[in-house]
Amino acid sequence: MTWKGVHELMKGFYSRKLHSLLGVIPLGFFLLEHMLTNFSAVEGGSEGFKESVAFLNSLPMVLALEMFGIWLPLLYHGVYGMYIAFQAKPNNNRFRNERNLRYLLQRISGVLVFAFVIWHVYETRVQVALGNVTHEELGGVMHGIVTHPVYFILYLIGVISAAFHFANGLWSFLVSWGITVGPRAQRVSSNICMGLFVIVAILFTWSLFAFRGAEFQAEGTAWLEMTFRTLAG
């Protein structure tokens, strides 16, 4: 498909507005929820994490919640986001200001997170759906991934990109919906959102380190070892 065809399909006020909305509701909230669930691995270790996962799976209509709260919004936001990212013509060498840098980083982090989320969902939720791992074994799966030095770095890049994309996206959401209008309001919300970025990034990173703990070992690693071998070979 040519760019013109993509553009004809994607352009318009409402499709762009929907992209912006979904980034915060529900995806922003889901990201924060995910951050808290992960943090139970820091606070409660392997058992704490299992309990959190069990709690989420005990929610009523959990499949519908996942479908309409995560998968479909993620698919739309991700695919439409690629269109936004690749229509940009960055000019940061000519206009070296912070907002323009964040404009570029928002698009780069979006593309990184798009790839990261596909990989991460494949390794976790898809494997649960295929029956290769159980929900209880997810902590072990994570342990297997983050103890591998290369994958650990990739996961770090993934979660930090996601934290930035969320926080900076929240800032531009506030502008795009006409909530923060004047320069002072946009400056204050910018400080708050960048603070949020730091907090979310730290909490996600912290839980990645927690998953490296030995107590997460030896759960659901059989499948992972298999994929590692395939990837390496």
Interface residues with another protein (CB under 8 A) are: 3, 7, 11-13, 16-17, 84, 86-91, 94-95, 97, 99-100, 103, 171-172, 175-183, 186
Identity of the residue, 154 or 196, whose beta carbon is nearer to another protein in the bound complex: 196
Q: For the CB of residue 97, give the shortest distance to another protein in the complex, in Å.
A: 6
Identity of the residue, 94 or 229, whose beta carbon is nearer to another protein in the bound complex: 94
The residues near 117 (Cβ < 8 Å, ≥ 6 apart) are 74, 78, 158, 162
Q: For the CB of residue 165, give the shortest distance to another protein in the complex, in Å.
A: 14
Identity of the residue, 129 or 187, whose beta carbon is nearer to another protein in the bound complex: 187
Q: For the CB of residue 194, give the shortest distance to another protein in the complex, in Å.
A: 14
Query: Buried b / exposed e across 74-113, counting CB within 10 Å, b at 16+?
Result: bebbbebbbbebeeeeeeeeeeeeeeeebbebbbebbbbb
Identity of the residue, 100 or 124, whose beta carbon is nearer to another protein in the bound complex: 100
Backbone angles phi, psi at 64, to 5 degrees: -65, -40
Identity of the residue, 11 or 29, whose beta carbon is nearer to another protein in the bound complex: 11
Q: For the CB of residue 78, give the shortest distance to another protein in the complex, in Å.
A: 17
3-state class of 71 per DSSP? helix
Q: For the CB of residue 20, give the shortest distance to another protein in the complex, in Å.
A: 9
Q: For the CB of residue 102, give the shortest distance to another protein in the complex, in Å.
A: 8
Question: Taking a C-beta distance cutoff of 8 angstroms, is the pair 208, 146 a contact?
Answer: yes
CA–CA separation, 52 vs 57, rounded Å? 9
Q: What does the DSSP assignment read for 171-223?
A: HHHHHHTTSS-SHHHHHHHHHHHHHHHHHHHHHHHHHHHHHTSGGGTTSSHHH
**Residue 26, token pair as written in the block:** 């529900």
Identity of the residue, 15 or 57, whose beta carbon is nearer to another protein in the bound complex: 15
